[in-house]
């Protein structure tokens, strides 16, 4: 006796899992954030410009890293002139800490928004 496959409608259907970013996308997004520690604004900008078409995840993290880099650059310039460099002593560890936190979030496949950031690129 042939089995009719159309009678399987009473079985519960599995929900399709939403695919997250690939490991390569996570790694590239992490490099965008951590590159700011080594290369200032230049490295995140280059990574974002060259990789943004590959994945929306990289695009979002790259924009966030570039925006934070621009914000920190403005903070260092203004802080350097107005406080004779004392504000830079505060901004440097804050920038490193937030960049590491963002890089770790990107490596886990999570979205991250810097708490202190002017969003020039949206």
> What distance in Å separates the CA atoms of residue 55 and residue 115, rounded to the nearest whole number?
24
Residue ranges covered by each domain of the chain: 22-107
pLDDT at 16: 46
Q: Does residue 117 register a pLDDT over 70? A: yes
Q: What is the pTM (predicted TM-score) of this model?
A: 0.80
Instruction: Give just the sign of the alpha carbon dihedral 70, 22, 109, 26.
Output: negative
Each residue's pLDDT tens digit, 63-74: 999 999 999 999
Say if CB 109 and CB 58 are below 8 A apart. no
User: Angle between the 56-82 and 86-107 helix axes, to the nearest 10 degrees?
Assistant: 170
Each residue's pLDDT tens digit, 31-78: 999 999 998 899 999 999 999 999 999 999 999 999 999 999 999 999
| CA distances to 109, 116, 120 from 26, in Å | 6, 23, 23
| Neighbouring residues of 74: CB distance < 8 A, sequence distance ≥ 6 | 118
pLDDT at 13: 52
Q: What is the distance of C-alpha 79 from the center of its chain? A: 26
């Amino acid at each position: 006796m042939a089995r009719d496959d159309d009678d399987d409608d009473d079985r519960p259907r599995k929900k399709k899992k939403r695919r997250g970013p690939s490991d390569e996308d996570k790694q590239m997004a992490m490099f965008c954030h951590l590159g700011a520690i080594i290369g200032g604004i230049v490295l995140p900008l280059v990574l974002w410009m060259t990789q943004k078409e590959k994945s929306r995840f990289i695009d979002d993290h790259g924009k966030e890293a570039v925006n934070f880099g621009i914000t920190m650059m403005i903070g260092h310039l203004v802080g350097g002139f107005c406080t004779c460099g004392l504000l830079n002593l505060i901004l440097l560890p804050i920038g490193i800490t937030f960049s590491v936190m963002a890089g770790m979030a990107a490596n886990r496949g999570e979205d991250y928004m810097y708490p202190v950031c002017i969003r020039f690129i949206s």
